[in-house]
Chains A and B, each alone.
Chain A
Amino acid sequence: GENVEQHPSTLSVQEGDSAVIKCTYSDSASNYFPWYKQELGKRPQLIIDIRSNVGEKKDQRIAVTLNKTAKHFSLHITETQPEDSAVYFCAASITGNTPLVFGKGTRLSVIA
């Protein structure tokens, strides 16, 4: 089955700096790669996703890149703000065939 590795497990950045979280996956058939944000005491919520026919996707300060050959994908947050502080999860699946398998999460702290 799919295995998703996520690094780093914790990340501290100064407000205004960029943050990068990286994930690798094992199943080359996986074609859907979402990122979820979980604020303290809240439920995980989707912030951005990418499918395997696209190499990069942006939404305001958030971007995700995908390298299918290397089987890794990354989340980039620019101009970080204190409200970006949360646990971020990457995940992978084969759309319509398998459930999402999550990475172990990255706790991002943005220091004002």
Chain B
Amino acid sequence: DTAVSQTPKYLVTQMGNDKSIKCEQNLGHDTMYWYKQDSKKFLKIMFSYNNKELIINETVPNRFSPKSPDKAHLNLHINSLELGDSAVYFCASNQGWTGELFFGEGSRLTVL
């Protein structure tokens, strides 16, 4: 059983398009995150949700809109994609900002 799963694994799209990435965790965790990993491998937190409530929204353009329909799911929608959005996006979860962070496999977004 995959603990944290993301879809799709790869996304190739044109500038200006809108795309979504879905994430689900079956660990029973109450806290989920989106991290962005750029070409230099920096792992930067974008959003953190606790029990479906947005807790952290780092300096991310408002073209990025996370949605958590329930505490097992955290989706990321990106509008008007730009070249600089190309990166690997990791979903992750843990329990109440405590303990091991479990990452999904990542979704590689390429904007042309």
Contact = CB atoms under 8 A, between A and B. Distances in A.
Q: In which size bucket is the chain B interface? A: 20 to 34
A100 B33 CA distance: 10
A43 B40 CA distance: 15
A38 B104 CA distance: 12
B-side interface mostly:
strand
Contacts of A98: 97
A104 interface: yes
A43 to B, nearest CB: 4
A59 to B, nearest CB: 14
A96 B33 contact: no
A44 B43 CA distance: 10
A46 B100 contact: yes
Interface stretch (A18-26, A72-80, A87-95): A87-95
Given A43-B106, A101-B45, A96 B97 contact: yes
A97 B97 contact: yes
B90 A96 contact: no
Contacts of B104: 43
B16 interface: no
A97 B96 CA distance: 8
18 contacts: A34-B100, A43-B103, A43-B104, A43-B105, A43-B106, A44-B43, A44-B103, A45-B103, A46-B100, A46-B101, A87-B41, A89-B43, A95-B97, A102-B42, A102-B45, A104-B42, A105-B43, A107-B41
Interface of B: 31, 33, 40-45, 48, 56, 90, 96-101, 103-106
Given A43-B106, A93-B97, A104-B41, 12 more contacts: A34-B100, A36-B101, A43-B105, A45-B103, A49-B100, A87-B41, A89-B43, A99-B31, A99-B97, A100-B45, A102-B43, A104-B40
